[in-house]
Amino acid sequence: MRTVLKSNYAIEVINLSFKYEGTEEYALNNVNLRIKEGEYVVITGPSGSGKSTLCRTLNGLIPHFYRGHMEGDIRIFGISTRAKRTHELARLVGMVFQESENQLFLSSVEREIAFGLENLGLPRDYIRKRVKWALRNFKLEGLKDKAPYELSGGQQQKVAIASVMAMSPRILVLDEPTSNLDPLSAFEIIALIHQVNKAMGVTVILVEHRLELALKYATRLILMKEGRVITDGDPREVITSKEARSLGIGIPKVVEVYKRLKEEGIELPRIPLSSEELALGVRGCLATYGSSYRG
Partner 1 sequence: MSIRVFEGFKFKPKGTYFYKLDPRVKMSFLIVYSILTLYFSTVVPLSILFLFSVVIVVSNRVAKEWGRTLRAVALLSLVIFSFNLLFGAKGNKLNYASSMTLRFLTLTSFFSIFFLTTTPEELSEALLLIGIPYEYTFMFMMAMRFIPTLARDFQTIIDAQRSRGLELEKGNFVQRARKLLPLLIPLIVLEIRRSVLIAEALEARGFGTSAKRSTLKEYRLSKVDLYLLFLTITFATSLILSSKLPPYSEIMNYRLPELVP
Ligand X SMILES: Nc1ncnc2c1ncn2[C@@H]1O[C@H](COP(=O)(O)OP(=O)(O)OP(=O)(O)O)[C@@H](O)[C@H]1O
Pairing of strands 28-36, 9-20: antiparallel
Residue 27 near ligand X by CB under 6 A: yes
Q: For ligand X, which stretch binds (CB under 6 A), given 19-27, 31-39, 120-128, 278-286?
A: 19-27
- Residues in CB range of 46: below 8 A, 6 or more apart: 225, 247, 248, 249
- Residues in CB range of 73: below 8 A, 6 or more apart: 12, 13, 14, 15, 16, 80, 82
- Residues in CB range of 245: below 8 A, 6 or more apart: 251
How far apart are the C-alpha atoms of 162 and 192, rounded to whole Å? 10
Residue 105 near partner 1 by CB under 8 A: yes
Report the residue from 29, 53, 100, 231 that binds ligand X according to the rule CB under 6 A.
53
- What string marks each residue from 38 to 67 as x (binds Mg ion by CB under 5 A) or -? --------------x---------------
Q: CB count, 10 Å around CB of 172?
A: 23
Residue 101 near partner 1 by CB under 8 A: yes
- Residues in CB range of 227: below 8 A, 6 or more apart: 17, 25, 26, 27, 28, 29, 31, 49, 50, 53
Q: Which residue is nearest to Mg ion (CB)?
A: 52
Instruction: State which of positions 153-192 bind partner 1 (CB under 8 A).
Output: 163-164, 167
How far apart are the C-alpha atoms of 47 and 278, rounded to whole Å? 30
State the minimum distance, in angstroms, from the CB of residue 274 to partner 1. 31
| Size (the chain), residues | 295
Report the residue from 8, 23, 152, 288 that binds ligand X according to the rule CB under 6 A.
23
How far apart are the C-alpha atoms of 214 and 203, rounded to whole Å? 15
Residue 244 near ligand X by CB under 6 A: no
Instruction: State which of positions 22-41 bind partner 1 (CB under 8 A).
Output: none
Residue 90 near partner 1 by CB under 8 A: yes
Contact 198, 174 (CB under 8 A): no
Report the residue from 54, 131, 189, 239 that binds partner 1 according to the rule CB under 8 A.
131
How far apart are the C-alpha atoms of 135 and 108, rounded to whole Å? 12
Instruction: State which of positions 48-67 bind partner 1 (CB under 8 A).
Output: 56, 59, 61, 65
State the minimum distance, in angstroms, from the CB of residue 45 to ligand X. 6
Contact 169, 196 (CB under 8 A): no
| Cα separation values, 17 from 47, 142, 158, Å | 18, 45, 32
Residue 289 near partner 1 by CB under 8 A: no
Report the residue from 23, 32, 80, 119 that binds partner 1 according to the rule CB under 8 A.
119
Instruction: State which of positions 55-74 bind ligand X (CB under 6 A).
Output: 66
Residues at the site binding Mg ion, with contacts judged by CB under 5 A: 52
List contacts with ligand X (CB under 6 A): 20, 23, 27, 45, 47-53, 66
Q: Which residues of the chain form contacts with partner 1 (CB under 8 A)?
A: 56, 59, 61, 65, 85-88, 90-91, 94-95, 97, 99, 101-103, 105-108, 110-111, 114-124, 127-128, 131, 145-147, 149-150, 163-164, 167
